[in-house]
Structure formats: C-alpha cells, structure tokens
Structure 1
C-alpha cells in the first residue's frame, strides 16, 4: 500500500484486521532500522494494550490509533520515507500475516515562478515561451496551464508553454498551476504581449579612462540597457585596430591618441528595430595630465619625461588637477623643470633639477 505524508506533519499506516481474528501482537518494522520500531501486545478479555517503542530515530514519534491498532508517525522528515511492514501474530496460529507499506513524504509547494522569453519563428510569427518552475525536493510535480487554445503547445512534462501569436492578436493572460500529492499552488497571471519585441530604449554609455606612461589614453566603454529583453545584440562603431569587444558586445576597450576618432557609437538591435547612443572621447583624455604627457612624449621633449612625471605627481598631490600656469603663479619650485624643457630656453631640452645652469 502506498501512503503519502506531508513534511513535518503526521501520517497513519492503516491496519485493517479481519473480523474474528484473535490477534496476539503486532510488530512494526521499518526497512531503514534493524528490528522492530514498535510492538503492540493485545490483552484478552478487553484489557488495555501494551505499546512498546524501541530506542531508534522514531522514538517519541510513534503511536497506535483506532480499533485496528494502526501506526501513526508524527513530525515526518525526509528520512521517514521508505518501506514498512506490519507483522500480525495470531493466538490460534503460528503463522504471521504481513502487511507492506510504501511511505512517500512531500513538502507543500510554494508559489511557482514563471519566466518569459520570445523569438521570431520561421513563419514570422511571434513565439512566446513561458517556463514554470516549482521548487520541490519531494518527488514529481504535476504542471498545468490555463487557458489553453489552438495557439498554445505544452512540453517538457507540462512545465513549458509555447504561445504562437500572429500580427493583430490581442494580449493574453496565462496562469501556471502546480500540484503534488499533498498540496497545490498557482502562479500570478502572466500577461503575454501581442508582439514579441518593442523598440529598444536608447542605451546609456558609461566610460572610464586611464593615462599610460607613453601618453596613451586607455578607455573602457560600457553600453547599458535598463531592460535589455531577449534577442538584443550590441555593436560599436568605430572599433579600429587594437579595440577589444567583450561581455557579449556590451564593452569596448580602446587605446586612444589625439587624432583618432573622437566619437564612438553603441547600437542595440532586436529583431524589429534598433537604437543607438554616442559618446565623445576627447573630454575623457583632455585634462592637464594627458596633454602634458602627450607633449612630453614627443621626441623633442622625450628627455624630460621622467623628471616631469615626478613633478606632475607633486602637483597633483598638492592641489589636485591644476594647470602649470596656476602652479607657477604659486611659486612652486618644482615647475623649474617645465622652464628647462621649454624651447625658448634651449633648442635641446635639459632636465637638471632646480634652477637652470
């Protein structure tokens, strides 16, 4: 006999004795525990029965109920699932009658979750796929959907519903229902739009930059959508030599120098339309730091680059992003290096620290 119980609840293994049977004792056995887990001894002349529990993991959770001395197990856990036997010993016979049980334990089902994906089918129709997921550790879950119609197809054991919509069809609501032997639950209604995709919103571009020692400005651009949806593709223009596209096309990494393209475009596209945004690169790399590094990386100033980088670091430490003119007006002695690298002082740059010699 198959018996089902709810996790944490109680279950009864029913024992139906035949009329007129003179029962002496009943021993209950679980396959997972050696020996009997409980024994009931019946006293003649209507006296009280004797109930004995063996010391096992069932201790304190067993009781005998009803006139047939059925066994009740309380506070069910997953380990209680399995096979059980009742050995019935008669007074008038040495034969033992056996009843067998298979106990299945289930947990109550929570509200299922439904995910939605869309794509354009080969015939141009909008195919919407609803996937229902019910969390369950206690065995098989039965799935069903409502409503069903000519445009719907159920698959994957009932957990997946495919809806084919033609142009002009109206929006529909679907509900996923799940059931196991001890409970049932339903999802919230899921609204299926009349078309697969809508025009994507304008993407947002975020940027970060880093100035390298050779004067190159290394930039990382990320193209973002608040609600990307399904079947969205990303592209960048221009890419150029050395550009690296990553993270599914959403991220572009470039090494930028003055004279290269100043504007970059991200385009997002789905099966029906597209949208794009642009960002100007030049402001990211036009601060004092980048301009001075670029200047000093030129051949006529290359001898001054190591000394000037140190000066630049001292300037940033003192006042942050300031210009050389501001620093000179403050009388900073570190800026003597700039004068030594000026073409007006000498056609050949000199990079001695301190005053000119």
Structure 2
C-alpha cells in the first residue's frame, strides 16, 4: 500500500450526517461545556481520540488515499484506541451504505452485492474488500458511534484502483532519408491502461546510460552507428513493466529491404554451394569496420574482430556459421547457399578519418542445378494427312530464370515455340519427327528427347499399291510352281536313258510269249518320255 496522501473534499455526508450535525450544537452548549472541561483536565485523551474529535468538529476534513489493484484485496483501516467501547460502526460506500458492525462481532451487510467480498475486522472494525472491480473506486466513510456518547466520529477514505500493467508494446514508424540515415519514431503503449501511467525510455550509448521521460522517442540511425538497444518502461502506482529491447538497425535494415532495389553488381550462386561477394577497398583509408546488410540481417565486421552475423545468417550449430568476412579485404563469403539468400546485399565501409561512409551494392541470385526435363503432349485437331500436337516441357523445382529451346531434324514439319510450349504439325505420310527439349538457367542446362511415334498413325499406303503387291506375289508363286513341275518331269525321264540297253533287249526276244507286268509298265513310261511335240509317238519294235 502506498503512503497515504490527503486532500480537501467537500462531499456531502451520508445517512448519519444529520445526527452528527445535531450533536455538534450540544458540544458547545453552556450546560455541557463545564463538565466536559473537567473531564478533559482529569484524564488526558489519546491522540487518536483527539483526532477523531477534530474530525467531528469539521476542522480536518481530509480523506486518506488508498491504492488498490484490480482483482486484488484492500483494507480501509480504522485507528480506534484499545479499550474504547463501541456501540456500532457503519461503513458507507461510493453509492450506498455497505455494512453495519457491532461489538459482538455481528456484521450486517446491507449491500448484497458485497456479500462474498466484504468483511469487517472484529477488533479494529477495518473494512476489507476482495476481488476489487472498477465500481469499487470512490469515497468511503466510516461512522463510529461510541457507548455513552452522543458524538459520531467519521473517518473518510478515497480508494483508487489500478490494473496490473501488461508488457508494453512498441510501435515503430520509420522513414528513410535520401542519405543513408534512417529516422525512427518509437511509440510505447500498454493495452487497457487508462490512467496514471508514466512512460520512460532507457538505452546505453557509448558506455553511458541515458533515459527519456515520454511515451514517444525519435531517433536517427546510420549503418556505421553502434547497435543500441532501446527499452520502454511503463509504471503506475501498483505495477511496473518493461518492453523487449528495440534495435534500430533491425528496422532500418528491413526498411532498406522493402525498397527492393537491385542495383550494383549481380552475383550468381549455386544452391548448396559457396559464393563470394568481393569489395573494392579504398587505398590508404583508415577503415573502422564494415557492415554488410541483407534484408533484416546485418553482418558487422570490426577491425581485427570476428564477424557478427544477424539471426537470418547465423547457423543454429555453434562453430558452423555460414557467413565469413575476410580480415584482409572484408570480402563476404556465404557457404551452403539457400534460396532465401537471394536478394540485395549492401556493404558500408565505415572510415575513421574522415568520418565518412562508403557504400557498395550487390545482388545475389541463387539457382538450382536443373534436373532432366519432362515432356508431355496434347493432341490437336488433325485430318487424314496432317498431324498436329502441342508439346510441353517442364523441369521439377526449376526456380526462376529458366528458358527452354526445342530442336528437331524432320524436314517439312511446321513449328512455333512459346517458351516451354511447342506447337508442331507434319504430314502423316512422312516419317515421325523426334523433338529435343533443352532447359537452361544461368548455371546449368539439361536436355531430353521425345519420340513422336505414338502420337499419330504412321504413313498410310494406298489400295492400288496393295493390289500391285498382291499380283506380283501371285505371279512369282506361279513361276515357282511351274519350274518345280518341269524339274520333276526331267528327273523322271532321266532314269530310262541310263537303262536303254535294257529297253532294247526285250524287243529282240520274239520267241517269248509273255512278259511281266513290271516290264510292260517300264516300257510304257519310256514311250511317254519320247513323245514328239506334234503329238506323235515312237513305237517300240516288236
């Protein structure tokens, strides 16, 4: 609880105010003044009793300030001396009477909305309220009636309720000047904080601590400036909260990246391999450090110090950073290239004498080595003599800057290429053409050949051609069969010629009356072989 503060308040009295104003006239009546004077002289009152009597007389009407936390617990303490006999104590809230307490410990809660949240101490009659809400804020009055006294003592309190502050949120508004400076406006705020919140900014600049009392802070940052962390602190009477550190260079690097400028030297790298961005260092210049900037990542290299990489370029494994800056010429080397490394890189050379900044720009492009292309086709409208088709060439995970080239050797084919598409047509009577697609990017190329034999039917032959081919086949078969027959007959006639002597012998034998059937058959065959072309025959001599 904070230290009590007092201020004057002219609020009207509650339900017991009429009675106190009546008793006020009796205090100064002549009949009561003399006995009261003797009582005061006989026994000196306690300081608490004196202060209570002064409050009833209206000479000190300053309420006590009490601080409470939203959802928390608070106590409004009464300073009643030990041994004071109390008849009852009435507590009044901001809007109505809350409760009535008696010496026996009995408490009557008059406002039922406080039934589970309100309690009164049996010894001091202090008021306790839990689970504080914004409606509990306001003026509270305790009216104390003592036994054997016509005086009502009143204590007044003012309750202020504050919420526990959440973590401050910082909104950054940044602009880039025509030079290399970046102007930032940092605005600190706390959600649902409605009153009594004080904001302050703190940072460390060149080993000195600085602060600024305001919710808004404006700064200017340049790449060669140190990386300063700015922190906002929000306070109210019950809590204090601090924001996460804000680094100016992070937002300024992001602002430069959002511009998307692709100026300077273009460097090509291969995915998974290494690339080097070489600087042109001025001769006879005292270089303090070099700052490489890429998107929201900054790689800073001080003289004779190791390079410090930003979160996007830093490896998750210790000792295996992908970024390295040369100690000699401040050249930037990036290993194990990723596709995310593509973009603009800016190098700032910070010079000591004079205090200047030299800037060099690079654009890094990372490409994959191309895989084998794939060719698909879509048939087009065709007739009996012309075949039309559209060929599509593609490469898996090709990335950007991929070009395609089609080549084919068939004469008479008509083709038109639009990037990876090839529209081609040829006559069906001709042989099928073969096509080759070549995919190329700045670091590699890959080809694939497509055979078009299955797209359109082959060359068609006319009916006349088939008829001529059939007739030639029949003629060849007839000549072959006739030659075979002649050859067979000549073979049969050659057998009697070798046995002519045996044929003449039976003719000279006139004395024999009969011959065997085999002999007659043999003679008959000989006669057949000696037939003349005119149909005449030679007769055997009897």
Q: TM-score, normalised by structure 2?
A: 0.34
Of structures 1 and 2, the one with the larger relative CO (CA 8 A, separation 6+) is 1
Which of the pair has more CA radius of gyration? 2
In proportion to residue count, which structure has more strand? 1
In proportion to residue count, which structure has more helix? 2
